[in-house]
């Protein structure tokens, strides 16, 4: 089922997600629906917060062929190094792209969609995507990394856009 993606400046995007207590059938369905929503959008990552489900769950697929789905439940960055500046966009902030600095290499521990713990080493696009989606779980949007002036302009534009709908 394709879920509705919240759009900036919706206040629900600022909700801090709670840890998933148990990977049960509800969580597994949420993962499936989030992948379907992300691929349909189309995007390379989606955090549960973006679909108004406030638990620590993200789905990602940075592959060209969209055939390498990655689910991270209760993700935690346990190591990070380097720096990369990367042009980011967001399904919750449509048609807006801006360079953001993040760690270039990270190691993440999480649970998969079956509830099994694992660790993953990520760099470049995957590392950026994981950090971007994890920010969502903490109520942070990529635009929060921009200058105050750019944030102000974007907020005005987004508010005008939402009035048109």
**In this predicted model, what pLDDT tens digit does every residue of 66-104 receive, in sequence order?**
999 999 999 999 999 999 999 999 999 998 999 999 999
What pLDDT sits at residue 154? 86
Strand partners, 58: 47, 72
Nearest to 113 by CA among 27, 9, 47, 14: 27
Residue 133 among the catalytic residues: yes
Peptide bond into 42 cis (omega under 30): yes
Ramachandran bin of 112, using left for φ above 0, alpha for ψ from -120 to 50, beta for the remaining angles: beta
Task: Give me the residue spans of the domains in the chain.
Answer: 11-164
Q: Is residue 102 within 8 Å of residue 131, measured between CB atoms? A: yes
Residue 32 pLDDT level (bands cut at 50, 70, 90): very high
> pLDDT category, 165, cuts 50, 70, 90?
low
15 vs 63: CA distance, rounded Å: 29
Which tens digits make up the pLDDT trace of 114-152? 999 999 999 999 999 999 999 999 999 999 998 999 888
Given the residues 68, 79, 124, 133, select the one marked as catalytic. Answer: 133
pLDDT in the model for residue 158: 82
**What is 11-164's CATH topology?**
Peptide Deformylase (3.90.45)
Average pLDDT, the chain: 95
Locus of tokens 């840890």: 19
Summarised one tens digit per residue, pLDDT across range 45-59 is 999 999 999 999 999
Half-sphere exposure of 65 (CA within 13 A, CB side): 2
CA angle 14–18–23, rounded 5-degree value: 135
Q: How buried is residue 62: exposed, middle or buried, by Cβ count under 10 Å (0-12/13-18/19+)?
A: middle
């Amino acid at each position: 089922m394709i879920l509705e993606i919240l759009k900036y400046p919706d206040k629900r995007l600022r909700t801090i997600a709670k840890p998933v207590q148990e990977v049960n059938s509800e969580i597994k369905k949420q993962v499936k629906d989030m992948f379907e929503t992300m691929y349909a959008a189309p995007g390379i990552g989606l955090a549960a917060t973006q679909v108004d489900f406030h638990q620590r769950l993200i789905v990602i697929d940075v592959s060209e062929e969209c055939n390498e789905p990655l689910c991270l439940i209760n993700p935690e960055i346990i190591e990070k190094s380097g720096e990369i500046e990367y042009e980011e966009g967001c399904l919750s902030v449509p048609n807006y792209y801006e360079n953001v600095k993040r760690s270039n290499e990270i190691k993440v521990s999480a649970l998969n969609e079956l509830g099994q713990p694992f660790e993953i080493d990520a760099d470049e696009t995957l590392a950026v995507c994981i950090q971007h989606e994890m920010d969502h779980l903490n109520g942070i949007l990529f635009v929060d990394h921009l200058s105050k002036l750019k944030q102000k302009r974007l907020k005005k534009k987004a508010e005008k856009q939402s009035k048109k709908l």
